[in-house]
Chains A and B, each alone.
Chain A
Amino acid sequence: RKEVEQDPGPFNVPEGATVAFNCTYSNSASQSFFWYRQDCRKEPKLLMSVYSSGNEDGRFTAQLNRASQYISLLIRDSKLSDSATYLCVGSDSNYQLIWGAGTKLIIKP
């Protein structure tokens, strides 16, 4: 079983819609989680950290559910520019980042 699992998608969503995807992690000792965005053939860029209390940044909301060991990302009022692959990232006890394979999101006009 992969340490961080994501639905690869693609999620095809009309512009303006709300989209949510989850990611599950297997290491209950993981302390920190992040969502990164990766455009095609580019490096990943940090989108937001995920806190236990949940956090919101504009149209993006991240939630952490430790009991069920999953992290979610919600995107409201989706834009064409949101099309990308979203990478869920956890951490291990050595502070190494553990990367999911990503969920591909396609926003259609």
Chain B
Amino acid sequence: GAVVSQHPSRVICKSGTSVKIECRSLDFQATTMFWYRQFPKQSLMLMATSNEGSKATYEQGVEKDKFLINHASLTLSTLTVTSAHPEDSSFYICSATPGLLGPYEQYFGPGTRLTVT
């Protein structure tokens, strides 16, 4: 149980285009989903926290107009990187929590590797 999927697993796009990444909880309803970004040899950095039906809460320094998050249902959250640039190339990971065992119960998706050329 507690499986989280992400799609796509890998994407290459041209500078200036937008990319949408989907995060789905497959066998549970996720009250909260988290979006992280990880650059090579660096720690995971939380970008934003989203709750179903409400606006996402962005971490300091993360541009909400550039990284659009939609948490339309209890099983799906999407992250859209708008007008992507090479510096946005990174490993994007989502996690989801059913909120049953406390705030630290997070299940991670397999990640999406974004390369912007």
Contact = CB atoms under 8 A, between A and B. Distances in A.
Contact of B41 (A34, A96, A99, A101): A101
Given A32-B104, A95-B104, A97-B46, A42 B41 contact: no
A8 B40 CA distance: 12
Contacts of B91: 41
A100 B42 CA distance: 8
B54 interface: no
Given A32-B104, A34-B104, A95-B104, A41 B113 contact: yes
A86 B49 CA distance: 24
Contact of B43 (A32, A34, A87, A96): A87
B81 interface: no
Interface string B70-95: 00000000000000000000010100
A4 B42 CA distance: 12
B98 interface: no
A8 B108 contact: no
A42 to B, nearest CB: 7
Interface string A17-52: 000000000000000101000000111110001000
Given A41-B91, A43-B93, A101 B103 contact: no
B44 interface: yes
A45 B93 CA distance: 12
A96 B60 CA distance: 13
Contact of B108 (A45, A49, A91): A45
Given A34-B104, A91-B104, A95-B103, A43 B111 contact: yes
B8 interface: no
27 contacts: A34-B104, A41-B113, A42-B110, A42-B111, A43-B93, A43-B109, A43-B111, A44-B44, A44-B93, A44-B108, A49-B104, A87-B43, A91-B104, A95-B102, A95-B103, A96-B46, A96-B49, A97-B106, A99-B43, A99-B44, A99-B45, A100-B43, A101-B41, A101-B42, A101-B43, A102-B41, A102-B43
